[in-house]
Amino acid sequence: MKRSHLVAFAAALLAPAAAAAQPGYGPPPPPPPAGYYSQPTTVPGGFHDRAGRMALGFSLGLGGMQVGDDDVTCVNCDYDPIAGEFDFHIGGMLSPRFALLFEVQGNAQTVEENLYGATSLVQATAMIAGQYWLTPQLWLKGGLGFASLSYSYDDGYASESENIDEGMALMGGIGYEVLSARTFSIDLQGRLVSGSYESFDQNVTSGTIGVGFNWY
């Protein structure tokens, strides 16, 4: 075989390999899987697309309590006690702007101290609540349910409670998400809950300011 024929034959063999080595000649990327869709994280107005997701969270707060128009005080304390608050909620987002929730809340304030421990006035509530976002970060909340009022005694070794009465609870709140994402938020909030009791014909009202942690 002539030399020129050998060169031509070798060039024909090497041409596909050389073409494959050139940039831009790789195989095209595979097509996306059938039905693939990237879910948007917001809806019109900038609201997080949380519709259909579970809503779960809790908050901690500080404030005060009133019986009727009178502030709850500690009769023998050297300081003015502050009421503490804890609440927990679970439910679901019915739309990007509205959640329906089951909510429990407890408020407690010291009313007496001695050498052995303290006595606290405790109000516990269980409510059905609705939460509505006016803006992507600002929300309002309202709830209706049951309230229980009791004294809690702590002698330093053990604690016990004495039920006072049960009644109806009404709650209102407002909050602002300082950290706001589709699946998690931290908010600053104000809460007001009132229990109505027939045995002494008075309302016990608790008002607090706190911070909440929420998952969606």
Q: Which two tokens stand for residue 151?
A: 């004294």
Q: Which one, of 176, 177, 178, 206, lies nearest residue 191 by Cα?
A: 206
The pLDDT of residue 34 is: 57
Ranges of each domain in the chain: 50-215
DSSP 8-state assignment for residue 135: S
The pLDDT of residue 99 is: 98
Q: Which two tokens stand for residue 104?
A: 């429990």
Instruction: Please report, in tens digits, the pLDDT of each residue of the chain (216 residues total).
Output: 444 444 444 444 444 444 444 444 456 666 656 555 556 789 999 999 999 999 999 999 999 999 999 999 998 888 889 999 999 999 999 999 999 999 999 999 999 988 888 999 999 999 999 999 999 999 999 999 999 999 999 877 778 999 999 999 999 999 999 999 999 999 999 999 999 999 989 999 999 999 999 999
The pLDDT of residue 79 is: 85
Query: What number does CATH give the domain 50-215?
Result: 2.40.160.20
Residue 213 corresponds to which amino acid? F
Q: Which two tokens stand for residue 18?
A: 């050389």
The pLDDT of residue 157 is: 77
Buried b (16+ CB within 10 A) or exposed e, 4-26: eeeeeeeeeeeeeeeeeeeeeee
